[in-house]
Amino acid sequence: MEIKGVAAIVTGGASGLGGATAARLASAGAKVTIFDLNAELGEAHARAIGGAFAKVDVTDETAVVAAITEAEGRNGVARIVVNCAGVATGARLIGRDGQAAPLAGFAKVVGVNLIGVFNVMSKAAARLVQADPLGEERGVIVNTASIAAFEGQIGQAAYAASKGGVAALTLPAARELARYGVRVMAIAPGVFMTPMMAGFSEEVQASVASQVPFPSRFGRPEEYAQLVESIVANPMLNGEVIRLDGAMRMQPK
C-alpha cells in the first residue's frame, strides 16, 4: 500500500516505538493521528511531525470510537492502524511475602496490552471494511507483541500473557478480515531503547544489551518503525508475527 496521502492512527504514539512509527509514517506522507494518554508529549510530537493528537484510553470503548470518528472526519478512514500502546508492569504469581498476587495488577496489564489492542483494532476495522479499496487492499493493521510472548521471564506473567494474546490474535483476525482486503500483522520486538528502558541504570542496560547476539545492543525505535513501513508496503505480509530481536532468546530471569 502506498503510504503517501493515506490516514493513519498510531496508539501509544507520543513516544517510544509508537512515537518513532508516527514520525516515520508522517515523513512518508501519511496523515497521522496519535492516540495516547500523555497529552503533553502527544501534542508536542504531533506538532513536530505535522500530525494530530487525541487523548485516548485504549480500554475505553466510547473514547476510542469518538477518537476514530474525529480522526476520520479530519483525514478520512484510517488505512493504517498501528497499536503500540502498552504497559510493562511486572507481576509474579506469588509475591515475596508468599501471598498470591492481587488480581487487579494482572487485569490491568491484560486490559491495556490485549483488550486495548482488540478494542482499537475492532473499532477501526469496522470503519475500514466499508471504505473503497485502494488497489487490491483496503488497509493494514499492525499490532505490537513481544518476544516475552514466547520466552516470558519470571515476573512477566501478566506481560507475557498479554503479549501472547496479541500474537495469537494475529492469524484469526487476518483470516477474518481477508475477505475485505484488510491485512493484520504483529511485530514482536526484543529489547528496545524506550523511555521505560532508559530509566534503568547503565549497568542493567549493559547487561540486557549483552544478551542480544547481533547486533549486541538495544533496538532503536526507528528500526521498529522501519519494519512497520515495510509491512505496509508489502501486501504479501499478512497473518504473521515477526520477531525483531537480533536473535535474542530471553532467559528465565
Per the annotation, the verdict on 180 as an active-site residue is no
Q: Report the C-alpha gap between 193 and 30 in whole angstroms.
A: 25
Distance from CA of residue 1 to its chain's centroid?
A: 19
Alpha-helical regions (H) of 116-219: 116-128, 148-151, 157-177, 195-198, 202-209
For 47, the enclosing helix (H) or strand (E) is: helix 39-49
Q: Are 192 and 146 in contact (CB under 8 A)?
A: no
Torsion angle, alpha carbons of 35, 39, 43, 45, to 10: -70
Is residue 159 within 8 Å of 32, Cβ to Cβ?
no
Q: Which among 159, 192, 218, 224 is annotated as catalytic?
A: 159
Which residue has 493484520 as its cell numbers? Answer: 184
- Residue holding cell 487523548? 55
Separation between Cα atoms, residue 230 and residue 215, nearest integer Å: 20
Backbone angles phi, psi at 21, to 5 degrees: -65, -45
The secondary element (H helix, E strand) that includes residue 70 is: helix 61-75
Among candidates 99, 139, 110, which has minimal Cα distance to 232? 139
Catalytically active residues, by annotation: 159
